[in-house]
Amino acid sequence: MSYAYYDRLIAAFAADNGTLQRSSLTHSTIGMVQYFYYIYLTHADGIGPLPLWMHLFYLAHDTIWAYIMFQEALRYDYHPYFTSMAKGLVVWSILEVYCIYRAIVYEKEGLFGQDAAVDHKGEDGDGNDDDNNGKTKNKTRNGKKPTVAMALMHSFIVFFTFFCLVLTIIYMVGRESFPHWTLLTKILACTGAGGTWLQRGTRRGTRMSLALLSVVDAITCFWPYSRWVLVWPEVFDNPAYYLTGVCCTLSSVFNVYVLTRLPKA
């Protein structure tokens, strides 16, 4: 069954009294603020709030949908929604590339071992890459440390896999599945980093204000006045949608609780 998503979206904006525009602007603004927060934290704390795989997934998602949104903008006579969304996705993609660069070259979390992730060095502070027991840390079987080139190759493979995954699902579901994909990205943004924060054991790389922003993001994405419910109530105004919102909100609230229990450094 086709719901003519994009035709309905255009018609909804044409008949909008401002509610849909405010809802759409809220979602996009929160997403943009989150990304600038990520970049701020990677410079202020030397590490960002998200694991590398999330940045790679978002880059795959945003680049593909930026291309599709530009195509839809042409089809719909450069409608402001498609045009602005395409440009926004390009900006997000650029920010993702920078976050990935920082994660590989400077943060190194999850790539070079715990010592490199914490100290941001390939060796101990005294220039000795052996631990106190004389055992070499963070080395491959041939005795060599993982290199940035290896991390880049790993990241490219993961990115390309995500890229193919997004393309495959779009091919199977259709080009009008953008609303559904935005829900997935919102869920990841609100819940995906919690395990990383627990693993670190400190607030380094995150802030309470960012965690609270994720709570607001979860609520506004899944409440009855969210943009997709306003446009397609017969699709999104249902118990499963709101149950997902409750779970997403609870997860983001738990992340706030986690930060209250963690030391600042």
Q: Is 222 inside a domain boundary?
A: yes
| Token pair 């495959």 in the structure block, residue | 168
Chain centroid to CA 2: how far? 29
Within this chain, do residues 34 and 109 fall inside the same structural domain, yes or no?
Answer: no
d(CA 235, CA 228): 9
For residue 165, pLDDT beyond 50: yes
For residue 2, pLDDT beyond 70: no
Q: Is 194 inside a domain boundary?
A: yes
Instruction: Say what the pTM is.
Output: 0.86
Q: What is the pLDDT of residue 49?
A: 95
Within this chain, do residues 235 and 156 fall inside the same structural domain, yes or no?
Answer: no
Query: Tens of pLDDT along 108-163?
Result: 887 765 444 444 444 444 444 444 444 435 555 555 667 888 889 999 999 999 99
- The helix/strand/coil state of 193 is coil
Q: What is the pLDDT of residue 145?
A: 66
Domain that holds residue 248: 19-44+178-265
Q: Is 232 inside a domain boundary?
A: yes
Within this chain, do residues 80 and 162 fall inside the same structural domain, yes or no?
Answer: yes
Within this chain, do residues 110 and 34 fall inside the same structural domain, yes or no?
Answer: no
Query: Tens of pLDDT along 45-92?
Result: 999 999 999 999 999 999 999 999 999 999 999 999 999 999 999 999
For residue 192, pLDDT beyond 90: no
Residues β-bridged to residue 136: 130
Q: Is 90 inside a domain boundary?
A: yes
Q: Is 152 inside a domain boundary?
A: yes
Q: Is 186 inside a domain boundary?
A: yes
Q: Is 136 inside a domain boundary?
A: no
48 neighbors 38 (Cβ within 8 angstroms) = yes
Contacts (Cβ under 8 Å, ≥6 apart) of 29: none
> Any idea what DSSP says for residue 103?
I
For residue 105, pLDDT beyond 80: yes
Within this chain, do residues 56 and 155 fall inside the same structural domain, yes or no?
Answer: yes
Within this chain, do residues 167 and 187 fall inside the same structural domain, yes or no?
Answer: no
d(CA 221, CA 245): 7
Give the pair of three-digit tokens for residue 217: 């993001």
**Neighbouring C-alpha atoms within 13 Å toward the C-beta of 127:** 0
Within this chain, do residues 152 and 208 fall inside the same structural domain, yes or no?
Answer: no
Q: Is 141 inside a domain boundary?
A: no
For residue 37, pLDDT beyond 70: yes
Within this chain, do residues 110 and 215 fall inside the same structural domain, yes or no?
Answer: no
Give the pair of three-digit tokens for residue 73: 């903008």
151 neighbors 112 (Cβ within 8 angstroms) = yes
Within this chain, do residues 155 and 232 fall inside the same structural domain, yes or no?
Answer: no
Within this chain, do residues 79 and 27 fall inside the same structural domain, yes or no?
Answer: no
Give the pair of three-digit tokens for residue 104: 């590989």
Structural domains in the chain (count): 2
Within this chain, do residues 210 and 263 fall inside the same structural domain, yes or no?
Answer: yes
